[in-house]
Amino acid sequence: MSSDALARRNVVVLVAAQAVLGAQLPMIFTIAGLAGSSLAPNKCWATLPITLMVIGSMLTATPLSMLMQRFGRRAGFFFGAAGGAIGAATGAYGLSTGSFLIFCIGALFSGVYMSANGFYRFAAVDTASESFRPKAISWVMAGGLLSAIVGPQLVKVTADELAVPFLGSYLAVILLNLFGALLFLALDIPRPQPPAAGSPAGRSRVALIRNPIVLVAMICATVSYALMNLVMTSSPLAVVGGGFDKGKAADVVTAHVLAMYAPSFFTGHLIARFGAERIIAVGLTILAAAGAVAMAGVQLENFFIALILLGLGWNFAFIGATTMLTSAQRPEERGRLQGLNDLVVFGGVTLASFSSGGLMNCSGGSVQAGWQMVNLAMLPFLILAGGALIWLWLRPQDSRA
């Protein structure tokens, strides 16, 4: 079996996992803020559960990467699904008892799955040739297209099915984790061989960050993911606060997540043709356009267009940054670099998620004012990422390594 034939088989498994297990992410992002708003003693803490989920992902990224480096991808992905199931069960118990604290603890455990999900894209290239890598990453990300449909629609079906609002949704997340984990039995990625005595250990984390390509890739990945999370976390609160019902909030999230993953069918081809740096630049420009549309009004069409642009911009910028990062790694550095990258990325996402609820609920006297502040906060970070990309472009080719 050729390397790309094996890679294609693994991509199919990872696409299915992204579709089934990944459905829990849009579900939680749709309902956690609304559920948190009903449980929290202060409305400013409404998005704290989402923040804690991201913190859980950030704290788990490096240990999970090391676990996969030692025991293989399958073990890490099983561990992630178990964390998702435990988190959902704990969150369900918090909802049923009306405990905001227990609900938040469940969100922290849910972050274990969120972290594992982030490694799907890296697993896609483990058995792929250099030419197939952008497409492998892109196709795995495209698996989220089905999760974008399944997740929010499950929220519609389950959110009010039981006496306690959203309890049915969390029970559905438990089932997604339990059944979705079985998919990894078909994953065939060789376990990394332990380094032999005297073999290269690779660069240190400090040396990796000093590599211009790695540094700019991490900045762009962090900014694109953090800004997407900043706006998406607040969007259900803004939609419902603007007078629309929970169903409309779910529809907006559906459109957003579809836009996050649908372009993945051709993003890899675009990167292969035009280069990762140009695609990242396009993504950052689209993210800026999303903020402009969101600030233009709080009509339902503004929410839909802004969140669709937000998803599209994230897709281009994040997949481009991931491709750039993998091009700069050596085999012996894989676990170290990927864990470091996701630690930094989810650290930025944590700050964005934590800021989202405060900006939305506590920075103005109305939903409109809060929503304006959320989107205005994107500007300095887009300037940072754009400046980093320009800095890399201006460097001589032979000085980038």
Closest C-alpha among 153, 174, 179, 295 to residue 234: 295
pLDDT digits (tens, 9 = 90+) for 91-104: 999 999 999 999 99
Read off the pLDDT of residues 113-141 as tens digits, 9 standing for 90 and up: 999 998 888 888 888 887 787 788 878 87
Residue 202's region, left for phi above 0, alpha for psi from -120 to 50, else beta, is: left
pLDDT digits (tens, 9 = 90+) for 156-192: 888 888 888 889 999 999 999 999 999 999 998 887 6
| pLDDT score of 385 more than 90 | yes
Q: How far apart are the first and last CA of the chain?
A: 33
What is 3-184+204-399's CATH topology? Growth Hormone; Chain: A; (1.20.1250)
**Residue pair 112/205 in contact by the 8 Å Cβ criterion:** no
What does the pLDDT read at residue 195? 59
Q: How far is CA 370 from CA 239, 241, 249, 359, in A?
A: 12, 10, 17, 6
Q: pTM of the entire structure? A: 0.73
Please give the full DSSP string across 216-277, using - where no structure is assigned. HHHHHHHHHHHHHHHHHHHHHHHHHHTT--HHHHHHHHHHHHHHHHTTHHHHHHHHHHH-HH
Q: pLDDT value at position 193?
A: 67
Query: What is residue 48's predicted lDDT score, i.e. its pLDDT?
Result: 85
Residue 156 burial (10 A CB sphere; 0-12, 13-18, 19+): middle
* Cα dihedral 385, 390, 396, 399 in deg (nearest 10): -10
pLDDT beyond 60 at 386: yes
pLDDT, averaged across the chain? 85
Confidence of residue 364 (pLDDT cuts 50, 70, 90): low
| 300: three-class secondary structure by DSSP | helix
Band of the pLDDT at 111, cuts 50, 70, 90?
Answer: very high
Q: Are 181 and 28 in contact (CB under 8 A)?
A: no
Banded model confidence at residue 226, pLDDT cuts 50, 70, 90 = very high
What is the pLDDT, as a whole number, of residue 16? 92
pLDDT at 401 over 60: no
Per-residue pLDDT, 1: 43
Give me the mean pLDDT over the 67-88 stretch.
93
Backbone CA torsion sign across 166, 168, 169, 174: positive
Is residue 261 within 8 Å of residue 315, measured between CB atoms? Answer: yes
Distance CA 276, CA 324 (A): 6
